[in-house]
Amino acid sequence: MPPHYVLNATWYYLLMRPEKFLDTGTEKINKHLMYILYNILLFVAAIVGIPYYFLKMLLTGKYRKSLIPKLGGRQAHILAGLKKTPRVWVHAVSVGEVTAAKPIVSSLKLLRPEVEIIFSTSTETGQEMARRLVKDVSAFIYFPLDIPYVVRKMIRLAAPDVFVMVETELWPNFLTTCRKYNIQALMVNGRISPRSYGKYRLTKVFWKNALSTLSAAGMISRVDAERMKNIGMDNGKIQVLGNAKYDALAAMASPQLHQEILNLFNVREGEKFFVAGSTHHGEEEIVIQVYQELIKKYPDFKLVLVPRHIERTQEVVDLLRKYNFADFITVTEIRNGKERRRERIIVVDVIGLLFKVYSLATVVYCGGSLVPKGGQNILEAAAWGKVIFYGPSMEDFTEEKALLENVGAGVTIRNASELFQEIRKALENPAELEQRGVRGKEVVAANMGAAARYAELINRHIG
């Protein structure tokens, strides 16, 4: 059994089900006991997990770039050359958080050009995206595992005046060490999904102490702010400042990016595309079934499949063959020199292309929504002026869903039949489809400005 399964099970019973051995109904629980238990968990996980991941790294190359840096190695030289001017450490877990961080970093540098910005991610895909997208950064590093010794080492090396976490990732040892070294810790673009909220509330006593280390929390919406208050943060430290992803996406949707994907896919004039983005297991089969019906009436329509996890590419390819689609090509094949000619289906098996791919779409299905995953980011397609279809599981994007549905740019469907019917209805009214997409794009533009507000929040704590 992989050690992360053991870790997840231990975490669940220790922190998510503390009522099994602690009375969570009283504020008298010793917070130090909870931290001791938390660090016992980390110690056990390290003993079991680190050898496993080292073996995985040696055998497959996975985690090769990130594992040792996350243990505190290979990063001192990156931080050694920083100036003595004020330093801000910005942490974005992965790709989604990097997108939100980009305009915040740019806005902060406009306010304080002299500030040195250290930018960290937890994942290798996030690191690649950050290095490509985020400008004005003095050093890119990996965020350390929440092991006390490793955390202390990295904080001493980075020596930030302010630590900024993008969205919500609370690491108790890291935040406690920030407080010990008098480092201001902030949350920006904060959000708490319904699933996370339920877990946080079960362990409110533990998280209340972790949240007390934050100097301020800028939240996306009033709902997120209320949830943050309910899990134990001082209401006086919470502000509702909006979603910085609107700023990032509106700025990124450029003709240049659109032309890049046209060239890569060798798109011919007049080609129409059904783009299915961020799909999970169980959704590609629905999309393929809908596509089969779609091309009966629109035989020239093309399909672009973008699985959320590229390691599932072979599973997607097997599905295409199961449904007798042999005329497909992968992006890896294209990049290796095979030119797309007559292939009607493109499988995106690389990271970082989805946003560009949405620019091609005539219609979009956004995944993680016909399976119980909480949905994926529908703003990316909306920024290009596209109408987006998605399933009922959109718990992580309720605000965005409401905004787009209010102008007709977002449509909830429940199954393959409804998806086909709604797409067919949209294609039969191309002028209306275009107008709905334009209204969605206007919604994205109208909600810009959050990045500047978050930059001002950070600026006030730099001193």
373 has a pLDDT exceeding 60: yes
Burial class for 297, CB neighbours closer than 10 Å (0-12, 13-18, 19+): exposed
More confident residue, 32 or 429: 429
pLDDT at res. 409:
98
Helices (H), 112-203: 124-133, 148-158, 172-180, 194-202
332 has a pLDDT exceeding 50: yes
22 has a pLDDT exceeding 70: no
Residue type, 197: Y
Measured between alpha carbons, how far is 325 from 288 in angstroms, rounded to an integer? Answer: 9
8 Å CB contact between 90 and 166: yes
pLDDT at res. 291:
98
Backbone angles phi, psi at 309, to 5 degrees: -115, 115
Strand pairing report for 410-412 and 388-390: parallel
Measured between alpha carbons, how far is 286 from 306 in angstroms, rounded to an integer? Answer: 14
Over range 320-343, report the average pLDDT: 96
8 Å CB contact between 18 and 203: yes
CA 444, 449, 450 angle in degrees (round to 5)?
A: 95
The beta strand positions in 13-156, using DSSP E, are 87-91, 116-121, 139-142
Copy the structure tokens of residue 69: 């840096």
**What is the tens place of the pLDDT at every residue in 111-142?**
999 999 999 999 999 999 999 999 999 999 99
> Using 50, 70 and 90 to split pLDDT, how confident is the model at 30?
low
5 has a pLDDT exceeding 70: no
Backbone angles phi, psi at 61, to 5 degrees: 85, -10
Over range 43-61, report the average pLDDT: 81
> Which residue has 């243990």 as its token pair?
71
Strand pairing report for 345-347 and 302-307: parallel
- Tell me, what DSSP letter sits at residue 340? P
Measured between alpha carbons, how far is 141 from 118 in angstroms, rounded to an integer? Answer: 7
DSSP labels, 359-411: TT-SEEEESSTTTTS----THHHHTTT--EEE-S--GGGHHHHHHHHHTTSEE
Give the up-direction half-sphere exposure of residue 260: CA atoms within 13 A in the CB hemisphere: 14
208 has a pLDDT exceeding 90: no
Q: Round the average pLDDT of the chain to a whole number and report it.
A: 91
pLDDT at res. 211:
94
pLDDT at res. 209:
84
> Using 50, 70 and 90 to split pLDDT, how confident is the model at 31?
low
Instruction: Walk me through the domains of the chain, giving residue ranges and CATH numbers.
Output: 1-64 (no CATH), 74-243+451-462 (3.40.50.11720), 251-446 (3.40.50.2000)
pLDDT at res. 42:
80
> Using 50, 70 and 90 to split pLDDT, how confident is the model at 47?
confident
8 Å CB contact between 278 and 306: yes
Backbone angles phi, psi at 365, to 5 degrees: -115, 130
**What is the tens place of the pLDDT at every residue in 411-457?**
999 999 999 999 999 999 999 999 999 999 999 999 999 999 999 99
Measured between alpha carbons, how far is 449 from 136 in angstroms, rounded to an integer? Answer: 19
Copy the structure tokens of residue 120: 């960290």
> Using 50, 70 and 90 to split pLDDT, how confident is the model at 24?
very low
